[in-house]
Structure 1
Amino acid sequence: MATSQGQDVIRCQLCSNPVEHHCNLCHLNLCLSCIPKHMADKSRKHEVVEYTSRREHTFILATCPTHKKNRCETYCQDCKIPVCVQCLKTSHKKHEFTNINDILQKKKQQIISDTTQLENTIVPKYRNIYLIPTITAEFDKVLAAIEEQEENVCKSVHKEANRLKDEVTRQKKETVRKSQESQDLIEKTERELNFLIQNNKDILSGNDTTPIINYKSRNRDFQNGPKLPSIPCPQFIVKQGQIVDMIGVLKTDYDSESSSESTESSDNESDL
């Protein structure tokens, strides 16, 4: 009866009885009463031994796809596949063969080596890498820089706009002052003209010859009309396309990659 220290009794894999034997080829635990049932399967070879004499750590060989009753106990180096003994005499005749256990051991060592490398070297490279927060942070920096530049540009625009408005206001006041002086002179001249008209009418309505003899025309002094002052008014010219230059532009790695791909494509076409 097979037992394991500190564990329950090992049971037969065909029934619930305690195990007493083991088939090395089928890797099956058996009780004494189930051995005949297991041996009745003539489709494969069997090697039943006492459980304590079983072969440890043996590989479970695959069934030959061509000869269903056989296990693939060797390895064809030419075809790179496991084959059975019967295959050596038929489809794989004259091929080079290797002990399949050697192949399995090498493969197993490779798996162990790969697993160790995966666990100790490769997986740590992928651990604690959080792309989304990093990418988000980088984009947020760009957005913050744009907002800061926007604020700076707005401040500069407001400052320049206020300077322009102050200058226009100053010119406006100065022009209004000069215009008022001209307006006063025009109104004074108009009063003088009205006086002359009235004086001429008075002379005409009287019979006194002296004012008529002494009359001197002054029409020539006024016939060209008032001398109007030049009133310059500044013109505001909007500069197109300046905002983009002030704000800035976006440049990504995609731009350089696209440019590089375009250059390579042009070079390839020229080679053709």
Structure 2
Amino acid sequence: MTTSRAHNYVKCEYCREDPANFVCRACVTYLCEECKEDHDIFFNFPFRKKPPKHDITELRTYNEELVGVLYCSDHKTKRMECFCDLCERPVCTDCIDLSHDGHDFKSISSAYEKIKKDLQRDKEEIEMDLIPKYTKLLDIEVENKSNLKTQADQIQDKIQSYTQDIIEMVKSIGEKTVQDLRVKEQNGLWNINETSEELKKKISRLKQIEKTLSDHINDTPGIEFFTPMDSNLLEEFETFPETFNYKLHDFQAGALPSIVAANFGTMPGFSICQADPSDTAGFWEDEECFSESESEMFSSGNLSQAEKCYMRFDLYDDNWDNIRDSDSETIF
């Protein structure tokens, strides 16, 4: 930052592209870094006797003496004598006559001092004010990053704990429902067993009667054969017991998944709060809610419409409703 602004108006006379940072006092030629090396090698070769050694000086304006080595880029042999305030450039006497007539001028040294003072002021503002403020803002962002992760972790733990409680509650309801099912099963089985035992007794009694009758039929007829049999022998078997069909009604899933999804809780909100410009460590107390389009504007970095607002938007959007609807039958 110590180089004079005159450098902006002096180009290398060799390549005519890069700015000149050096001047050869012997041939009064302005040189850039690369061309300076070529110039030095060509004219200051150790075995070269003529022309005399060229003294190449860095083009700086640390003092009045070095200011005096600046030569006009338009008029090669003319030294820059003063500084044109209107055009903001050093000029030689020929420049003044040809294109700067009527302009205000100051000495090169005073222009140099003013430029140097302005540069020093900007340098101090950067060092003492801007960098510390931006560093503080960066520290806030680093802290925000850490805090946001901590908050997300804490909310995640809370959601997972709450979810586990719901799972345990639903499991308990499911286990009780299964227990009720098994009780009904046992009641049905008891009735079936009672009926089966009664039928088995009937069959056993019938088999005994059948055997008695078979023995009567197969024995040699005697007096007993002609004895009349009990006319009511089979009466008790003429009336058959009632038969029943046993059926457990199938399980029908209730509305619990959709109810749980609808009442699970609100989605965690996400807020972006603009800090008070006068206090980079604090935040404004008031808040305003922004629409989704304004939230996208913030995310895109276009803050021109929101620089003075406390920005906030909640991510409780249609995506969550879609998730609830599509997964309501598969959550549990």
In the superposition, the TM-score normalised over structure 1's length comes to: 0.57
Shift of 1:241: 11
Matching residue of 1:89: 97
* CA–CA distance in structure 1, aligned partners of residues 176 and 72 of structure 2: 99
Alignment correspondent of 2:3: none
Instruction: State the 1:142 CA deviation.
Output: 0.4
**Cα–Cα, structure 1 residues 246 and 142, in superposed 2: closer, same or farther, change >3 Å?**
same
Q: Is the alpha carbon distance of 1:244 and 1:110 closer, same or farther for their aligned partners in structure 2, counting shifts above 3 Å?
A: farther
Distance 1:87 1:122, change over 3 A: same
Whether the aligned pair in 2 keeps the contact of 1:76 and 1:83 (CA below 8 Å) is: yes
**What is the match of residue 156 of structure 1?**
166
Shift of 1:146: 0.8
Partner of 1:65: 73
Work out whether residues 84 and 106 of structure 2, in 8 Å CA contact, stay in contact via their aligned partners in 1.
no
Aligned pairs for 1:242-257 within 5 A: 246=264, 256=292
Consecutive unaligned residues of structure 2, counting only runs of 5 or more, are 1-24, 30-61, 217-224, 273-290, 298-332
Structure 1 gap ranges (5+): 1-39, 45-55, 262-272
Structure 2 counterpart of 1:20: none
- Kindly provide the CA deviation profile for residues 24-78 of structure 1, in whole angstroms up to 9, marking residues without a partner as x: xxxxxxxxxxxxxxxx96969xxxxxxxxxxx96474332112233332223455
Question: CA-to-partner distance for each residue in 1:120-151, whole Å, 9 max, x for gaps?
Answer: 32222133543445413321320232133212
Deviations 1:60-98 (A, max 9, x none): 4332112233332223455432211121223x2546242
Amino acid paired to 1:196: L
Structure showing the higher helix proportion among its residues:
1
Distance in 2 between residues matched to 1:250 and 1:80, nearest whole Å: 59
Secondary structure (helix, strand or coil) at the match of 1:99 reads strand
In structure 2, what is the Cα distance between the partners aligned to 1:80 and 1:241? Answer: 76
Question: Does structure 2 conserve the Cα–Cα contact (< 8 Å) formed by 1:76 and 1:98?
Answer: yes
Larger Rg: 1
Higher relative contact order (Cα pairs below 8 Å, separated by 6+ residues) = 2
- Alignment match of 2:106 (pick from 86, 99, 109): 99
Are the counterparts in 2 of residues 73 and 99 from structure 1 also a CA contact under 8 Å?
Answer: no
- Calculate percent identity across the aligned residue pairs: 13
1:227 aligns with 2:244: yes
Q: CA RMSD in A?
A: 4.3
Asked if the contact 1:77–1:98 (Cα under 8 Å) also holds between the matched residues in 2, the reply is yes
**Matching residue of 1:199:** 209
What is the match of residue 8 of structure 1? none
SS state at 2:178 partner: helix
Aligned to 1:113, what secondary structure does the other structure show? helix
C-alpha spacing 1:141/1:42, structure 2 compared with 1 (3 Å): closer
Q: Identify the residue that residue 151 of structure 2 maps to in structure 1.
A: 141
CA distance 1:223–1:165, shift in 2 (3 Å): closer
| Cα distance in 1 between the residues matched to 2:156 and 2:28 | 78
| Matching residue's letter, 1:140 | T
Alignment correspondent of 1:190: 200
| CA distance 1:114–1:249, shift in 2 (3 Å) | same
CA distance in 2: counterparts of 1:244 and 1:111, whole angstroms: 64
Number of equivalences:
211
TM-score, structure 2 as length reference:
0.49
* Residue 135 (structure 2) aligns with: 127
Return the alpha-carbon distance in structure 2 between the equivalents of residues 256 and 218 of structure 1.
85
